């Protein structure tokens, strides 16, 4: 009942406000009001923005037959989004999780983890379950979140959506710099410095940003440190632009693998306890290098080429799980695990856009290819997986050697060669009807070599994948400010990350997905308000599941479905008040899925999927110096495991802030997060462990441009 009430309040607010947007009389009545708001005042999304992730044709959101959120830097700072995890949770229907084994994963539209692609400046690394990390948002120009299948744009993965993190880019204006500093609860600190603009060399522009974020964490030994460095040099030759871009990231996370219920609850005295080993390691160093060439030889032809290189070193060493036996009264630490990843990617993406007029219809066609090689080496230890019985109320300081693991040694290296050919076509049939068509062919060759000298038969193998994906969408502009759309799209999803496949999964095909979506987008009240709504139906087939006739084997018959509704609103009510809101209601379930014991999970909800979510932000500009605001985030009940044996309760968080702006100093913001000190579980790991969210916290920050 509580969840229904929260969702109902948000949807009722949308209905009233949107009804005012359609009505003629309120528009007349507003003539006497002095309102300086414009479309640029609306922070949460702008339907006239051109999307980078939603189409390579740089289509405006109003004309794109898909649902998208674009969160720019000003909005991220206004909402207080410190990390990419917090940023994504501001999008409609999106959840974020930070399990140490796969930091920085998300859930949306009934799917999670590897069914959602992560991109950096439009380039995908590999399965997000192993490659993602939280980033500080200071270095980002914006975050783009595309909902639904995106394989036609970015290859395997991207069934439920794709998230693109876009770095700050050089401006063509005079040099402008910015500085950010904050301090908050749990000794959380952020600092950022950036600058960009012209140089003493004609037509040469630059941008650089550095940031660091660190915290001791609410849970014992759960601190983290994120370091981000990014920079770009751009030279403008006129019709030709060349830019060199580099990004470096480092992170060091004190891993916390969650809390287990004891006799049906998490004792209050244990809510800050970390049961991981004291000599844990969860860290990564990575870099991106890109050389980008943009050339426009004529008004009808644009060419872009991106040569890119990525490299990452990752290291995990943890005790990743615990076992609770209420009947025997025992609590055991287990899951001793060490692994090292060495990954490098070298690739090139080329695309050309041709603009032409066909029988009076404007037409743009994009043709391109992406070729890359992904090299991956996995080093790990041979695990004994012991159960070490401890007293959870007086836990010992366990170290990694307590797990009796053998020496860490290389065990597998993999090379994935990919060639992708893709095309997009946008045809303006009339000034109201727009068609969008996309097609992509992916050819992937996997070569995997067993490096374990103790393996007699070995698991050296190769495999080839060849798949075609596509989408067809249409947008009809009822007026210049109101459009409706529909889209059908397909997707391909590996049953496991292609660079970590082993012999047991090498012979399976890629899973398939498809989605049908219809939606509406409108700006109203002289562009002071904008709203969108979407209805979708997604199906994923050919997933892995235990064979119902022989649970010791796996077969590719799994099927998962999700249907839902999403709605978003941004409204500049007047000079003083601003409102943003979004809500999502969905039904996600397994159609065909079995447990290892052979039981059917048909009708069950996948883990870490919230079937109801809502966000609300209200901002009040008291005068030129003072601004106050608050937000509410509601997340419905979620299942902890696919068997639906345990659940995480729904929660509702409230944040408040007050901002004082002084031209000579900058913006000083005081923020309270989780103001009512709600106790909640944010994510589930290993089917029965709760990753607890932070309690009430405080933060003061300074931001200045100069």
CA dist 499 and 378 (Å) reads 9
CA dist 610 and 600 (Å) reads 22
Q: What is the mean predicted confidence (pLDDT) over 149-166?
A: 89
pTM, full prediction: 0.90
CA dist 252 and 350 (Å) reads 35
The upper half-sphere exposure of residue 456, i.e. CA atoms within 13 Å in the direction of its Cβ, equals 0
- Three-state secondary structure call for residue 116: strand
Contacts of 686 (CB under 8 A, 6+ apart): 257, 258, 320, 321, 335
Residue-wise pLDDT for 666-699, tens only, equals 999 999 999 999 999 999 998 889 999 999 999 9
Tell me if 684 is assigned to some domain.
yes
* Count of structural domains within the chain: 1
Handedness of CA 453, 459, 461, 463 (dihedral sign): negative
Tell me if 311 is assigned to some domain.
yes
The answer to whether the CB of 585 falls within 8 A of the CB of 564 is yes
Tell me if 463 is assigned to some domain.
no
Has residue 16 got a pLDDT over 60? no
Tell me if 69 is assigned to some domain.
yes
CA dist 655 and 698 (Å) reads 10
Domain harbouring 113, CATH code = 2.40.170.20
pLDDT value of residue 384:
65
Tell me if 464 is assigned to some domain.
no
Tell me if 466 is assigned to some domain.
no
Q: Are strands 511-524 and 529-547 parallel, antiparallel or unpaired?
A: antiparallel
The conformation of residue 481, written as its DSSP 8-state character, comes to T
CA dist 149 and 108 (Å) reads 12
Spatial CA neighbour of 662 closest among 612, 611, 623: 623
Q: Which domain holds residue 256?
A: 2-457+471-705
CA dist 235 and 302 (Å) reads 17
The answer to whether the CB of 437 falls within 8 A of the CB of 449 is no
Q: Between these two residues, 41 and 545, which has the higher pLDDT value?
A: 545
Q: What is the mean predicted confidence (pLDDT) over 498-509?
A: 76
pLDDT value of residue 651:
97
Q: How many residues does the chain have?
A: 706
- Backbone phi and psi for residue 89, each to the nearest 5 degrees, phi listed first: -65, -15
The answer to whether the CB of 203 falls within 8 A of the CB of 257 is no
Q: What percent of the chain has pLDDT over 70?
A: 91
pLDDT value of residue 29:
31
pLDDT value of residue 454:
63
Residue-wise pLDDT for 122-144, tens only, equals 998 766 667 788 899 999 999 99
Q: What is the mean predicted confidence (pLDDT) over 596-614?
A: 91
């Amino acid at each position: 009942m509580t969840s229904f009430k929260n969702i109902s309040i948000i949807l009722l607010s949308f209905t009233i406000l949107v009804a005012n947007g359609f009505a003629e009389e309120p528009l007349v009545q507003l003539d006497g009001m002095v309102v300086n708001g414009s479309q640029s005042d609306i922070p949460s999304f702008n339907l006239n923005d051109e999307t980078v992730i939603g189409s390579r044709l740089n289509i405006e959101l109003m004309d794109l037959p898909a649902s998208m959120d674009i969160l720019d830097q000003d909005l991220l700072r206004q909402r207080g989004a410190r990390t990419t995890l917090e940023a994504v949770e501001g999008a409609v229907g999106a959840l974020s999780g930070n399990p140490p084994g796969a930091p920085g994963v998300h859930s949306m539209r009934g799917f999670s983890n590897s069914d959602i692609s992560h991109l950096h400046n439009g380039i995908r690394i590999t399965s997000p379950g192993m490659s993602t990390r939280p980033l500080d948002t200071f270095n980002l120009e914006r975050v783009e979140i595309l909902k639904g299948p995106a394989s036609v744009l970015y290859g395997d993965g991207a069934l439920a959506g794709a998230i693109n993190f876009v770095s700050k880019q050089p401006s063509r204006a005079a040099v402008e710099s910015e500085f950010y500093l904050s301090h908050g609860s749990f000794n959380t600190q952020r600092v950022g410095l950036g600058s960009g603009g012209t140089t003493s060399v004609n037509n040469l522009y630059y941008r650089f940003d550095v940031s660091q974020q660190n915290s001791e964490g609410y849970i014992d030994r759960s601190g983290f440190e994120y370091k981000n460095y990014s920079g770009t040099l751009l030279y403008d030759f006129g019709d030709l632009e060349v830019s060199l871009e580099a990004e470096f990231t480092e992170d060091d996370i004190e891993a916390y693998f969650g809390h287990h219920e004891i006799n049906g609850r998490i004792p209050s005295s244990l809510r800050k306890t970390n049961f991981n080993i004291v000599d844990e390691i969860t860290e990564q160093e990575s870099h991106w290098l890109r050389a980008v060439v943009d050339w426009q030889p004529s008004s009808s032809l644009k060419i872009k080429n991106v040569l890119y290189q990525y490299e990452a070193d990752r290291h995990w060493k943890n005790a990743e799980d615990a076992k609770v036996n209420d009947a025997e009264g025992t609590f055991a630490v287990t899951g001793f695990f060490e692994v090292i990843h060495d990954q490098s990617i070298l690739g090139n993406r080329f695309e050309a856009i041709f603009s032409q007029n066909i029988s009076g219809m404007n037409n743009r066609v994009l043709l391109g290819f992406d070729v890359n090689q992904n090299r991956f080496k996995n080093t790990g230890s041979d695990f004994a997986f012991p159960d070490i019985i401890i007293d959870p109320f007086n836990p010992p300081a366990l170290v990694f050697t307590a797990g009796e693991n053998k020496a860490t040694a290389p065990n597998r290296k993999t090379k994935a060669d990919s060639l992708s050919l893709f095309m997009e076509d946008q045809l303006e049939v009339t000034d109201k009807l727009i068609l969008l068509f996309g097609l992509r062919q992916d050819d992937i060759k996997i070569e995997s070599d067993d490096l374990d000298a103790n393996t007699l038969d070995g698991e050296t193998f190769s495999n080839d994948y060849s798949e075609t994906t596509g989408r067809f969408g249409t947008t009809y502009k009822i007026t210049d400010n109101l459009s409706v759309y529909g889209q059908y799209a397909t997707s391909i999803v590996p049953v496991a990350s292609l660079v970590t496949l082993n012999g047991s999964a090498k012979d399976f095909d890629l899973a398939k997905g498809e989605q049908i979506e219809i939606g509406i987008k409108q700006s109203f009240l002289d562009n002071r308000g904008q709203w969108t709504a979407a209805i979708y139906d997604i199906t994923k087939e050919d997933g892995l599941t235990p064979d119902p006739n022989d649970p010791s084997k796996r077969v590719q018959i799994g099927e998962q479905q999700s249907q839902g509704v999403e709605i978003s609103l941004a409204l500049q009510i007047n000079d003083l008040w601003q409102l943003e809101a979004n809500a999502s209601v969905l039904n996600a379930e397994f159609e065909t899925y079995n447990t290892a014991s052979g039981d059917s999970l048909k009708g069950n909800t996948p883990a870490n999927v919230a079937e109801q979510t809502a966000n609300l932000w209200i901002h009040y500009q008291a005068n030129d110096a003072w601004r106050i605001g608050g937000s509410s985030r509601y997340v419905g009940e979620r299942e902890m495991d696919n068997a639906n044996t345990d659940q995480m309760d729904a929660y509702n968080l409230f944040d408040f802030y007050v901002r004082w702006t002084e031209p000579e100093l900058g913006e000083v913001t005081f923020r309270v997060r989780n103001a009512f000190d709600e106790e909640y579980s944010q994510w589930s790991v290993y089917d029965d462990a709760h990753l607890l969210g932070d309690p009430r916290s405080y933060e003061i920050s300074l931001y200045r441009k100069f």
